[in-house]
A and B are shown apart, each in its own frame.
Chain A
Amino acid sequence: MSAPAPSAAAPVLAVRDLAKSFGGVHAVQGVSFTVEAGRMVALIGPNGAGKTTCFNMLGGQLRPDRGEIALKGRSIAGLRPREIWRLGVGRTFQITATFSSMTVRENVQMALISDAGGIWSPFRAARAQHAAAAEALLAQVGMLEQAERACGVLAYGDLKRVELAVALANRPGLLLMDEPTAGMAPRERVALMALTARIASETGIAVLFTEHDMDVVFAHADRVIVLDRGRLLAEGPAEAIRQDPQVRAVYLGSGTVSGGH
């Protein structure tokens, strides 16, 4: 909402006709959408709608059966996760993925070292590298005080923030967040998403996130994409989606139960 609407000429992410099947299950069937710089776009839908499958194709964890995924005009469909990351896509996972044997700061340093291409250095001490930059990122997400704690012992909400700092380390143009607030307390949810929205508007990062909590979606998303059983059901500004009778029928529960399942 607060986005200063940067020139919407070319979208950061353009997805066209994306499809993936597992055996006979058509998880995603021909989905198309775009995400623009500085915008928060929510991908929602009931369980089994194909959100995570979509996400895993965007992040490279799954190879699409067909369709185009263009990042700033460059096709990334079928690339590996690490190649996609190098092209400027940060990612957080539904179940937080961090390095438990490292401190919070070292987790972020790891991403910074990798971004600088410094992994293949066997003789220099890693702890000294990019320490200041790591602390700056941690300050941004409010985790600086806990920088020296082990990731294995953090509270879940804090882990999510560490993951966000890690995902931002390579200054991505696109941030993919799968269920960023799952398992968090309500107040933490609002704080994390407000933080994300602020970062998006300040840096012009395009953010695509999946979310179950409709309060979070309608409070923070500039635009909402609704999936249902692998198909695109609706797409538009949050307020329009909230009013869409079709969306209400299959998803939000307007009192009428959709037939067929």
Chain B
Amino acid sequence: MNALNDPIFLAAVALLAPIGAALLLVVLPFVRHRGAPAAGLCIFGSVLALAAAVKLLFVHHELGDARFAVTWISAVSKPIAEIGLFVDGTSSSMLAVVCLVALCVQVFSVAYMHDEPPRGYGRYFAYHAFFLFSMNAFVLAPNLLQAFAGWELVGLTSYLLIGFYFAKPSAAKAAVKAFWMTKLADMGFLFGLLWLFVATGGFEWTAKLDPTVAVGVTLLLFLAVVGKSAQFPLHIWLPDAMEGPTPVSALLHAATMVAAGVFLIVRADPLFVQAATTQTIMLWIGAFTAVFAACLALVQRDIKKVLAYSTCSQLGYMVAALGAGSAFAGYFHLGTHAFFKALLFLAAGSVIHAVHSNDLADMGGLRKKMPLTTLTFVIGALSLAGIPGLAGFFSKDLVLASLEGRFGWVPWGMLMFSAFLTAFYMGRVLCLAFFGNLSHKAEHAHEAPLSMSGPLIVLAVPSVVAGFFGSTLAHAVGGHYEAHFVGLTPIVASAMALAGLLASIAVYGRNRDARVAGAIEGLDRASAVDRLWELGYRRALLGVSSVLGWIDRYVIDGLMNFTGYTTIEAGAAVRGAQTGRMRHYLVAVVLGAVLVAVMGLVA
């Protein structure tokens, strides 16, 4: 078979091109330290990956699914783990989305990051290449074990990317927070994995499980998703993670890292459909997060934080749809959201680059200075708001339709309300940043260079038209979908979107002092959750650490010093101290041995 028509070959290229670039950057410091060649190498790897991924879409369309796996670790009797590539409609389409967004982000970064010193610049692109590899390894995983490995690597590289400005304390802190919140949740993944293996003897996506085991395993996996996909109550790391470079936010917090959680559920759908309890929990958590995060997005002053909370909210939509048992709805929304949210983040990055501030108060009237950025941002915002005809409309409609009639229409109502809020906060950003009078800082703003606006245009296209490929996607993943504009859900959803936009124009359109906004500020208290977590995890970890450090330093050493000072003459203090300490050690050994012996007797 011609290699270019071999799905496995293409998938392998998509997987290995980025890691090849990353490894070259690691072993060739002189390339990395020069900056620009590093960016070139990274982007070259991504172009290869994207080309392979796009070709793979067509090949998959013709040839269907393909699976390639080699025994990774064999037990005595049968292979317990395989490594390989699994190409089906879901993974091939996700692969294409991930590669496209990653490439756009990398190209955008070339100009965005050009003030970095060359070393930092090279390091940045090395991280990017490594991240793309991790993500692709996750997406193409033929079983949960490889997915877990990819998942962990995604977590690790996202930590590096979010904390890229490590010299800035808030960025370092945000990276640590993101890492720990997701890490906490990852324990669920590992535990689910262990349970799955013990129950079935393998790590298959499609294992058949007992009802209780199914609920247990899927709940544990869902815990990991709650962390990675920033669902309530583990969502708090996402807004903080905006400390990273803006293109990183576009990559991680739109299309890849946070989407990995949702993708995991889509992938493991055969497991989740066996656990109705888990799905119900997912539905409610998703719906609640959608509303809750949308409320918080209303009151943010930082343009990136609006987008961050918006991402939480939209991920809530996806999780709710998955909870309603409609994996395709969730996956479709994942795909369209990846495009328009990446677009919004990059456009926001372009604005921040021009204004040198994240604060909406420093922006205003940018449409005159940055017409192209404004146009693309508007497209992204309208798509996100769910204006009929744009990509976001179709997928959001499908999510909402999947909830029709469930639980007395309550979740449906929540998401409808959230749709209104979504349109409202995006309208608010549009009014404050792009329309109205020019603010002081915005006076010197100018349109971004082509290398930055190019990716915006590229992403704007699918943000508009991706919705029309719904049936193609459905066909590829083995489902059925037909777009429709008439019916209860589409009409109410469209009305909500329009109402939200109009309301925001009414509030923010003319006067920017925003009296009504003051009333909404109260919602900011909702971030009490954030503080609670902060208190919990920081106090717990740092508290334990400092208490033990104190014990180590003062109790153990202190006892010894105390003995030293009180029992012997000065000068022999150190020797006396050793005796004291040694005695303690011996006491511990004796007590330990006695304890162990007693344990034996009791047992």
Does B associate with A? no
